[in-house]
Amino acid sequence: MKATLEFNLPEEYHEHLVATHASDFAAIIREMELKLRGWLNNGHQFKDADEALEKVRDFLWDEMDERGVKSLVGLN
């Protein structure tokens, strides 16, 4: 079985980039799940909920930056 995605370029260039980097986004979600599981199972040093949220956000941005997809999210 084969599947083909078609995009009208250049109008749908952003959509094309998001689709071609879907495996990167899936890997980021997997890494985030592993990090969160580790914090829940092994404990953490967060002082409060705000600090925990900041660490989660930092981890997410680092993962996106590492995989070169940060600019595709549109939030910088």
pTM of the model: 0.81
pLDDT at 2: 95
pLDDT at 60: 94
**At 60, which amino acid appears?**
L
Does any domain span residue 12?
A: no
pLDDT at 75: 62
Does any domain span residue 19?
A: no
Specify whether the CB–CB gap between 30 and 38 falls below 8 A.
no
Q: How many helices (H) and strands (E) would you count in the chain?
A: 4, 0
The domain of 60 spans 25-68
Does any domain span residue 58?
A: yes
pLDDT at 42: 94
The total of structural domains in the chain comes to: 1
Q: What is the gyration radius of the CA atoms in the chain, in angstroms?
A: 16
Task: Give the pair of three-digit tokens for residue 4.
Answer: 């083909």
Q: What is the pLDDT along the chain (76 residues), one digit of tens a residue?
A: 999 999 999 999 989 999 999 999 999 999 999 999 999 999 999 999 999 999 999 999 999 999 999 888 876 5
